[in-house]
Amino acid sequence: MSNRPFEWFIGLRYLYTGKRERWALIGALIGVGVALAGLALLATSGGSSPLGVVTFIAGMFLAVMLGMWSFLSASIAVAVLGVVLGVWALTVVLSVTTGFQDAFRDKVLGVNAHVIIMKSSTDFAEYREVMDAARTIDKDVIAVQPFIFVEMLATTGKGQISGVAIKGVDPTLVTSVLDLESHMLPGGSVASLAKIPGPGELPPIIVGKELARKLRIETGDDVTVVVPLSNVDWNTWKTTAAAPRSRRFHVTGVFYSGFDEYDRRLMYTSLRETQELLQRGDKVMGVELKVKDVDRADEIAAKLRVRLGEPPFQIQDWNQLNHNLFQALATQKLVLLIVLTLIIAVATVNMISALTMTVTEKIREIAILKSMGSSSLEIGLMFAIVGGAIGMIGTICGIGTGVITCVVVRSYGYKLDAKVYLIDRLPISIHVREILLVAGITMALCLAATMIPTLKAARLRPVEGMRSE
């Protein structure tokens, strides 16, 4: 007997309960209604209703669980639900951790360049030659600009004071290197930095949203920047009679990157104004590049190291500059993947139990099939089909509910404490390759778990089934 469709028919028949549980079917329909009610709440509130999110997810799970219970046998339904919950958790958690990685990368690249060239000493006066070399190093280099980054103090006439990081940029090049314009709040513009102040006018400056709130200033106000220790004679290590250098600026814009570390400390002004404030002449701290493909930033940085020499120059790509942050996120993601995979592994134990019970229940049928000429391979294939179906149903339903949960929660826009998480919204990114990874892990575990009861069924002898009668 080698009729493969017959083996599939027998295997899939073992999944079916034989009759529909009316109460479970009614409960599944109620779950669908609850999910639709939650969806309606989300639609009417523009995705901002927490009750809508909870109602939709609860209704969706109720419909899935009771729907399975109404069509599958009890032991098989429990095994499938275990796989569903494990796959759902893994899909959601991977989407959230990937969302954090993508969000941090977008925030970092929004106000930072892709490659930075700095010099070991403070006499970076040949930056124009370095810029020319950077422009021609690779066809993927889109734009280049010089910059100065320095720690200072900012104060206002309202008695507020804060440590700040001022970045002097070239107003004509900054928008081609940094995505700063898209982060500007209404009423402000990066182009305002290009204005040369006339007699009696103050130079322009742009501040982060949280810094503006801390200093109690807004667009149109003035702020004073103080250069710490600028009145110290470094030869004698004594302070001079003069006060530290300072300059008043006019706030011409406020930006909001959503990255608390930048919004709370960063200020932008023109490179010329920063050079005059520091009194270091025509020198910069570094040169930064924007490249077409951010994933090639390390390759371009390597080319620059060969061209310029390291030392005296220090060349880093965006990933190296934020290595600790992205390494911590990657480690966290790996640990969560391992832990949640163990949940799926535990769910496969239920699968082994369910299939073993099925083998025990069907021992007489197995004996009859073997006495009619079925081989051990064919008997094993029947139960392998059952195990594979459990894994496939659990994987499809788990990934489906996980993706739907991610979409709903993302539309809701769950708020986070930016002081703790550095970003103000829960980021969720759904990547196809990670969905395929989850599916692959789950199916591999399910098929491995199927081997134990499958081998048990294949090794049964007809006489054992007859003896059980």
The confidence score (pLDDT) of residue 464 equals 59
Instruction: Report pLDDT for 12.
Output: 64
CA geometry: angle at 73 spanning 72 and 79, to 5°? 85
Q: Counting Cβ atoms within 10 Å, is residue 186 exposed (0-12), middle (13-18) or buried (19+)?
A: exposed
Q: In the predicted model, is pLDDT for residue 249 greater than 80? A: yes
Taking residues 252-266, report their average pLDDT.
Answer: 84
Average pLDDT over residues 65-78: 76
d(CA 53, CA 425) in angstroms, rounded, equals 16
Helices H / strands E in the chain, number of each: 17, 11
In whole angstroms, what is the distance from residue 16 CA to residue 6 CA?
Answer: 16
- Token digits of residue 114: 């892709």
Rounded to whole angstroms, the Cα distance separating 141 from 289 reads 7
Per-residue pLDDT tens over the stretch 162-174? 888 898 888 888 8
Task: Report CA torsion sign: 440, 442, 444, 446.
Answer: negative
**Which tokens is 258 given?**
């959503």
| Closest to 399 measured CA to CA, from 354, 437, 370 | 437
- List pLDDT tens digits, range 171-225: 888 888 888 888 888 888 888 888 888 888 899 999 998 898 888 888 888 888 8
Mean pLDDT on 400-419: 79
pLDDT-derived band of residue 1, with 50, 70 and 90 as boundaries?
Answer: very low
Whole-model pTM: value is: 0.69
Q: Which residues contact 396 (CB under 8 A, 6 or more apart)?
A: none
Lowest-confidence range among 67-76, 196-205, 384-393? 67-76
State the Cα–Cα distance between residues 147 and 193, nearest whole angstrom.
14
